[in-house]
Amino acid sequence: MPTHIFLQNTIAVVWDFDKTLTKGYMQEPLFKHYNVSGQDFWKEVNALPEFHKKYDGLNNVSKDTIYLNHILEYVRQGKFKGLSNEMLRKFGASISFYPGIPTFFKEVKEKIERNRTYKKHEIKVEHYIVSTGLTQIILGSKIRPYVEYVWGCEFVETIPGPGYLKSPNKKYLKTRRKQISGLGYVIDNTTKTRAIFEINKGSNKQNIDVNASMDESERRVPFQNMIYIADGPSDVPVFSLVKRNGGKNFAVYRSKSDAEFKQVNELQRQGRIHAFGEADYRQGKQAYMWIMNAVTEIADRIARDRSDALTRMLGTPPSHIIDSNGKSR
């Protein structure tokens, strides 16, 4: 039996954030703190691609992440004066989640951990967040203790300038007021797929280049051990990747929203997702039951496959020969 880096006994439940786990956008506490109209901010953001096409001659401006530049411009103009990563983490505490969150995160893990068969095979559940939102806000929210890793957008606060390696200005670094000033990491709805491959290959756990060639049997979390949960068409790239490779997809919609219901219903009609339900993660609700069932189905398969592999490796144990009189010898 070959020796593998990973046992492939981890189930990854991968979540989008805004409108999947939350009732609104995570930036709302930021707007409230600075008394800025969120509606006006997003209206400006939505108009930026056309603005840059007209004044800068740019045909390709990311609609998913251009909002990050607009936040930085609000900082430069003094509308978000003093905005820091520490403040973003504090804003996370104000995030309002859908019913059942974060308790559901804990319940999913315990469902597997308390099962004797799954425990024998060391099967476990890990929760991940993959979002085009802000990592620091997510890390400041009440789901943080239940999440293994977060992929999101990041701001840097200190930009040292040209030649800083040869003559670093330590005084400047110490006295400069902390305030976000540039982009550190950017993820959009298409590059979310990179995060999925990082989970797949275990890049977030080991020093493994996500682009490195790696046999399927060596990958930490096979796609068939993944469940991706999100809310809409913007998640189609990840839905497609996960489903095409044997994973499971579930979409959610806001209660009483005809538009969001039609949206996820269309995703299922197109074969993008396996099922959908209202964004309510309390016991007895569709989302709760479907995700719990999907996790146990995956755990059953892992346990069965590992038992079969062990049998093949060890072979059938020797037994006594039974003679014509029914006696063993």
**Structure confidence by residue, pLDDT tens digits, 157-168:** 988 777 777 776
User: Would residue 4 count as lying in a domain?
Assistant: no
Whole-angstrom distance, CA of residue 180 vs CA of residue 244: 39
Q: Residue 278: helix, strand or coil by DSSP?
A: strand
User: Would residue 3 count as lying in a domain?
Assistant: no
Whole-angstrom distance, CA of residue 12 vs CA of residue 291: 12
| pLDDT of the residue at 308 | 73
| Strands across the sheet containing 275-278 | 182-185, 149-156, 124-134, 10-15, 226-230, 248-253, 275-278
Whole-angstrom distance, CA of residue 213 vs CA of residue 227: 23
User: Would residue 329 count as lying in a domain?
Assistant: no
User: Would residue 328 count as lying in a domain?
Assistant: no
User: Would residue 201 count as lying in a domain?
Assistant: yes
User: Would residue 1 count as lying in a domain?
Assistant: no
Supply 119's token pair: 């425990």
pTM recorded for the entire structure:
0.89
Domain count, the chain: 1
Q: What is the CATH number of the domain that holds 159?
A: 3.40.50.1000
User: Would residue 324 count as lying in a domain?
Assistant: no
Q: Residues of the chain whose pLDDT is less than 70?
A: 1-6, 168-177, 310-329
Task: Tell me the residue type at 194.
Answer: R
Residue 268 lies in domain: 10-314
User: Would residue 30 count as lying in a domain?
Assistant: yes
